[in-house]
Amino acid sequence: MPRDLTGLPIVITGAGTGIGRATALACARAGMPVALAGRREGPLREVESAITSHGGQAIVIPTDVADADASTKLIKETIERFGSLYALFANAGYGLRGPVHTLSDTAIRDVFETNFWGSLNIIRPALAHMLEHNTGKPDRGHILMCSSCLSKLGTPFTAPYSASKALQDHFGRGMRHELRPMGIHVSTVHPIGTRTEFIEAADRVSKGSGKSIPPPRAFTQPPERVARALLACLRRPRGEVWTSHTVRFAFAAATAFPQLADWGIARALRKRNPH
Ligand SMILES: NC(=O)c1ccc[n+]([C@@H]2O[C@H](COP(=O)([O-])OP(=O)(O)OC[C@H]3O[C@@H](n4cnc5c(N)ncnc54)[C@H](OP(=O)(O)O)[C@@H]3O)[C@@H](O)[C@H]2O)c1
């Protein structure tokens, strides 16, 4: 039986735009009270009113996930307002573009601070609550991290980003097995190119390193596609959430045949920059 999510509170980071926004709306429609987090208050307020105007429950707690104290406060405030916490979607993240040798240590560290440490900053206090308070329930909680299909393959000009997503993936798998006996589900989400503010945000922080080349529209998906898959995972927990079987199998093949993958990457780069 799929789980009835009605009344089960969830915290979503990066909830003001893109995948986080679409997921917040989908969770609220499923009856979950939603705590919306992100740095900019404006987009979060817009999502809040979209939810509450349809009878859903939402609160806004502006938070920078790279700040561990602020992240702990986010979880504490959510529990105070909703009375408990069932799920967490650590979704906040951004891309960085450029050849590694041209990127500063600070720029690379910052990506890890948000994408990886930002996930851990929020998971730790949420998990502490789930383990201490959601006792006596077979399903005590669900932690989801927005990784990426690129977690499975390092790619040129996005290596720090892919590496930060691989960290989420590896921690997710390890924690899944550590926590399952305690009734906590851990899932990683692996979207392909998704039509959000992601590219614009990456270009903003990567200024001077050349503009991103987005994948052709036919190979991208709307954020609602990821939100639907994530909701299905909340209802029937699974380890990894994928939204494209083709990409999933292509990346599995790339891991199994690294020389073939390198040949394909080099060919794509030559096509892009023939000189
Ligand atoms: N779009 C894609 O092609 C794609 C593919 C695979 C995976 N992903 C992953 O999907 C997740 C969501 O990205 P998206 O595509 O929906 O792009 P997006 O629209 O740019 O959303 C990213 C969100 O993260 C928030 N954020 C960034 N840094 C933050 C911080 N330090 N603290 C709190 N919030 C922060 C941003 O809000 P504020 O700026 O207001 O803080 C924004 O709402 C990311 O983890 C990304 O890596 C995206």
Q: What is the pLDDT of residues 29-82, one digit of tens each?
A: 999 999 999 999 999 999 999 999 999 999 999 999 999 999 999 999 999 999
Distance, CA of 99 to CA of 84 (rounded, Å)? 44
Q: Which residues is 58 bridged to in the sheet? A: 34
What is residue 188's predicted lDDT score, i.e. its pLDDT? Answer: 98
Atom of ligand 1 minimally distant from the CA of 43: 40
Residues with Cβ within 8 Å of 184's Cβ and at least 6 positions away in sequence, in order, are: 127, 130, 131, 140, 141, 142, 143
What is residue 221's predicted lDDT score, i.e. its pLDDT? Answer: 96
pLDDT band at 252 (very low <50, low <70, confident <90, very high): very high
Asked if residue 38 has its Cβ within 6 Å of ligand 1, the reply is yes
pLDDT band at 138 (very low <50, low <70, confident <90, very high): confident
Cα angle for residues 159, 165, 168 (degrees, 5° grid): 145
What is residue 135's predicted lDDT score, i.e. its pLDDT? Answer: 82
pTM of the model: 0.96
Which of 21, 39, 120, 226 to mutate for ligand 1's pocket (most ligand atoms within 8 Å of CB)? 39
Q: State the distance from the centre of ligand 1 to the C-alpha of 199, rounded, in angstroms.
A: 10
Cα angle for residues 118, 119, 123 (degrees, 5° grid): 120
What is residue 130's predicted lDDT score, i.e. its pLDDT? Answer: 95
Q: State the distance from the centre of ligand 1 to the C-alpha of 58, rounded, in angstroms.
A: 19
Residue of minimum CA distance from atom 8 in ligand 1: 148
Residues with Cβ within 8 Å of 45's Cβ and at least 6 positions away in sequence, in order, are: 60
* Model confidence at 263: pLDDT above 70: yes
Mean pLDDT of the residues in the chain: 94
Domains detected in the chain:
10-243 (3.40.50.720), 246-275 (no CATH)
Residue 113 has what DSSP assignment? I
What is residue 134's predicted lDDT score, i.e. its pLDDT? Answer: 80
* Model confidence at 208: pLDDT above 70: no
Asked if residue 67 has its Cβ within 6 Å of ligand 1, the reply is no
pLDDT band at 210 (very low <50, low <70, confident <90, very high): low
Q: State the distance from the centre of ligand 1 to the C-alpha of 89, rounded, in angstroms.
A: 12
What number of other Cβ atoms are within 10 A of residue 3's Cβ? 14
What is residue 106's predicted lDDT score, i.e. its pLDDT? Answer: 97
Q: Average the pLDDT over 237-252 and give the result.
A: 95
Hey, what amino acid is at 212?
S
Edge-first strand listing for the sheet containing 10-13: 58-60, 34-37, 10-13, 87-90, 141-146, 184-190, 240-242
Which of 63, 117, 194, 247 to mutate for ligand 1's pocket (most ligand atoms within 8 Å of CB)? 194
Tokens 């096509």 sit at which residue? 271
In the chain, the DSSP E strands lie at 10-13, 34-37, 58-60, 87-90, 141-146, 184-190, 240-242
Atom of ligand 1 minimally distant from the CA of 94: 47
Q: Average the pLDDT over 199-205 and give the result.
A: 92
Asked if residue 121 has its Cβ within 6 Å of ligand 1, the reply is no
Residues with Cβ within 8 Å of 15's Cβ and at least 6 positions away in sequence, in order, are: 21, 23, 24, 34, 36, 37, 38, 44, 47, 91
* Model confidence at 273: pLDDT above 80: no
* Model confidence at 215: pLDDT above 90: no
More confident residue, 211 or 130: 130
Distance, CA of 229 to CA of 203 (rounded, Å)? 28
pLDDT band at 225 (very low <50, low <70, confident <90, very high): very high
pLDDT > 70 fraction of the chain, expressed in percent and rounded: 97
Cite the active site residues: 161
Q: State the distance from the centre of ligand 1 to the C-alpha of 136, rounded, in angstroms.
A: 35
Asked if residue 191 has its Cβ within 6 Å of ligand 1, the reply is yes
* Model confidence at 11: pLDDT above 80: yes
pLDDT band at 10 (very low <50, low <70, confident <90, very high): very high
How long a stretch of residues is the chain? 275
pLDDT, one tens digit per residue, over 80-104 is: 999 999 999 999 999 999 999 999 9
Asked if residue 98 has its Cβ within 6 Å of ligand 1, the reply is no
More confident residue, 214 or 90: 90
Tokens 């977690």 sit at which residue? 151
Q: Average the pLDDT over 143-170 and give the result.
A: 96
What is residue 129's predicted lDDT score, i.e. its pLDDT? Answer: 96
Asked if residue 120 has its Cβ within 6 Å of ligand 1, the reply is no
